[in-house]
Structure 1
């Protein structure tokens, strides 16, 4: 049985954190003994990790501004004081300090893996912790493998950090059956059956492009195209700005900000199409979730979605602009039935390629392959 260590900063609500739960809860219990080391204890998702997975932490809780302090700590000392077991595979699951801790591991025989989840061209995640690009490059050079969740992610990493020729692509997995189950709950708002209903699940931040979606809706309304509504599920830093923008443009009868929801999936099945208006994405889980519910997807060409949708083979791809979003919505309004017939079933079938089961199979295959390297080193030392 191989011993696997995952290092993460905290288990608060977030995409990478939820992904980690899916991974550690689904990896084979017969093949792997798993430990999760957290910089900070607690978090909403702590209790969702299965009991067979060991959890250890460094600090009891996160204090404001603490990242700016701990970036000067010696990562090897953090490792030695908290991690007492010897692992076969050590994985940093977030950028910054988790990478520094794994890279500084005194365990010279372990395979070290960095897992990258974001678009480095949009934001150099972890640079503040590394402090300089030179130190960041030096840190990554100590890893045997660097896992990317999309080709877009890999390309941007190469441009910003460098090419280490040890990248491995593993798409994030979605618990499709869970999404289907949660989608059956009754939603708490009625949709107008006389109008076409667009939906999106998105954080309300600049990179997600919801401001551009508002401008596209304004353009449609100015052309007297009024037979539609847009429901936006999610919260974020731009919430107030977007509310004011919608009010100033008199779009309150067309755009509805529903806020963050514990179960966003129940709002999707009765909508006619899902819109992704993002400026940039690595791999977008939300469009896969919509596809598994047979909701046609309209997405900007912003990186990751192209890998999911192909060349508009499994959904509608539009230019990464207000004009592109406007054209995609207008096209759907004019050809609703044809687009639904074209993409509903094909999208649902395509979503299976991004299931949790497919992801776990790819991860275990990687672990098995790198484990052969561990075993070869072990026998060479005998």
Structure 2
């Protein structure tokens, strides 16, 4: 059997949601059917989670690390590697990498089929970029040249069709894969917070996008005297957030817990996961929280979660204003049990089901 060669091109296989989705897809790849290569940036060696992920995959796939930590540092080496590897398909899941691959294909560096996944709602991604007009032009110019565009919701698909001249049959909706069994096994030993009031948890990179600054300010205005807010993650805004907590005199209620190797046991011990993101696609942290039986309260900029909330997911509450958030939390009574709560996540996020759909979409590229 002549195996097809697929290259997954990403900065790393740890960190944000796009990286985690890519890692979960690679784990499920049928290596009897495909030759699989992960083409990564060198900075991955400094990341403990990355080292573990690479170790887990080392006997399954080919791993190549480029000599640089930024795209501009690896650009020419990337050209050489793609010419050397001559893959049948290249997959990426970050907009700037997606656009780079289109440029390389236009320059005839590669003739590979391009399968890309969009991680964020495109219009929000554009509006929050440093150069919105240029970014929108790049989207409109590059994405119609891609062979397969994977999106995580009908909302995202609709946005693309509204401003990009992409053929409708080239856009496929595919949910983020979630390994619920693994998450629940890691969360069995829950961290239980000892305050009497609401136990709120938030998780993500400490960046402007995640909106933890406005969450902390909202928490102050909520005036929940016995509640706690614990924030998991690390990032460039850490010092600013720490100073904000001190300025608002919230040290006894709000904690920055930093990066945790096993964040799921902290989430599982909370009453609510709260998202304050300024823009998202389909946030993995929310899906993982639901898999652990913890309801989600999210801003209306949370992309695909809005779509889920109006369907069958009553465990997701979307707030449009601070008053919406205040009203919901003031009335909310947590359900606390002595054991891990039942999953609130549907089967449409099962990683095996998602991989079956992914493989089907990939195979269809060869019969067009």
**Matched residue, 2:367:** 372
Asked if structure 2 preserves the Cα contact closer than 8 Å seen for 1:289 and 1:351, the reply is no
1:55 counterpart (45, 63, 72): 63
Give unpaired runs (5+ residues) of structure 2: none
Offset of 1:103 from its aligned partner? 5.5
Asked if structure 2 preserves the Cα contact closer than 8 Å seen for 1:7 and 1:98, the reply is no
Matches of 2:151 and 2:20, distance apart in 1: 17
**Matched residue, 1:360:** 355
Change (3 A) 1:102 1:34: farther
Change (3 A) 1:250 1:127: closer
Matched, 1:148 2:143: no
Matches of 2:26 and 2:153, distance apart in 1: 20
Q: Secondary structure at the match of 1:17?
A: helix
Q: Secondary structure at the match of 1:350?
A: coil
**Matched residue, 1:378:** none
More displaced 10-residue stretch of structure 1: 160-169 or 101-110: 101-110
Tell me the alpha carbon deviations over residues 295-324 of structure 1, each in whole angstroms, 9 at most, x when there is no partner: 122222222212333357432423233223
**Matched residue, 2:334:** 336
Tell me the alpha carbon deviations over residues 74-96 of structure 1, each in whole angstroms, 9 at most, x when there is no partner: xxx95355443443333233332
Offset of 1:98 from its aligned partner? 5.2
Change (3 A) 1:35 1:127: farther
Tell me the alpha carbon deviations over residues 243-284 of structure 1, each in whole angstroms, 9 at most, x when there is no partner: 222222222222222122121111122222222222322101
Asked if structure 1 preserves the Cα contact closer than 8 Å seen for 2:272 and 2:294, the reply is yes
Q: Which has the larger radius of gyration?
A: 1
Change (3 A) 1:56 1:319: same
Matches of 1:170 and 1:202, distance apart in 2: 22
Matches of 1:132 and 1:287, distance apart in 2: 28
Asked if structure 1 preserves the Cα contact closer than 8 Å seen for 2:125 and 2:279, the reply is no
Matched, 1:321 2:324: no
Map 1:51-90 to 2 at 5 A. 51-57=59-65, 59-62=66-69, 67=71, 78-80=78-80, 82-90=82-90
Q: Secondary structure at the match of 2:186?
A: helix
TM-score (norm 1): 0.79
Tell me the alpha carbon deviations over residues 5-45 of structure 1, each in whole angstroms, 9 at most, x when there is no partner: 22224445333222222111211222222122335474332
Asked if structure 2 preserves the Cα contact closer than 8 Å seen for 1:121 and 1:159, the reply is no
2:173 counterpart (169, 176, 197): 169
Q: Secondary structure at the match of 2:305?
A: helix
Change (3 A) 1:266 1:350: closer
Asked if structure 1 preserves the Cα contact closer than 8 Å seen for 2:274 and 2:297, the reply is yes
Matches of 1:135 and 1:277, distance apart in 2: 28
More displaced 10-residue stretch of structure 1: 92-101 or 289-298: 92-101
TM-score (norm 2): 0.81
1:195 counterpart (185, 194, 197): 197
Count, aligned residues: 351
Matches of 1:307 and 1:227, distance apart in 2: 32
Asked if structure 2 preserves the Cα contact closer than 8 Å seen for 1:78 and 1:101, the reply is no
**Matched residue, 1:215:** 217
Change (3 A) 1:357 1:264: same
Q: Which runs of 4+ in 1 moved over 6 A?
A: 125-128
Matches of 2:135 and 2:319, distance apart in 1: 35
Change (3 A) 1:87 1:161: same
Offset of 1:366 from its aligned partner? 1.0
Matches of 1:132 and 1:297, distance apart in 2: 31
Matches of 2:149 and 2:200, distance apart in 1: 37
Offset of 1:67 from its aligned partner? 4.1
More displaced 10-residue stretch of structure 1: 272-281 or 130-139: 130-139
**Matched residue, 1:243:** 242
Asked if structure 2 preserves the Cα contact closer than 8 Å seen for 1:92 and 1:102, the reply is no
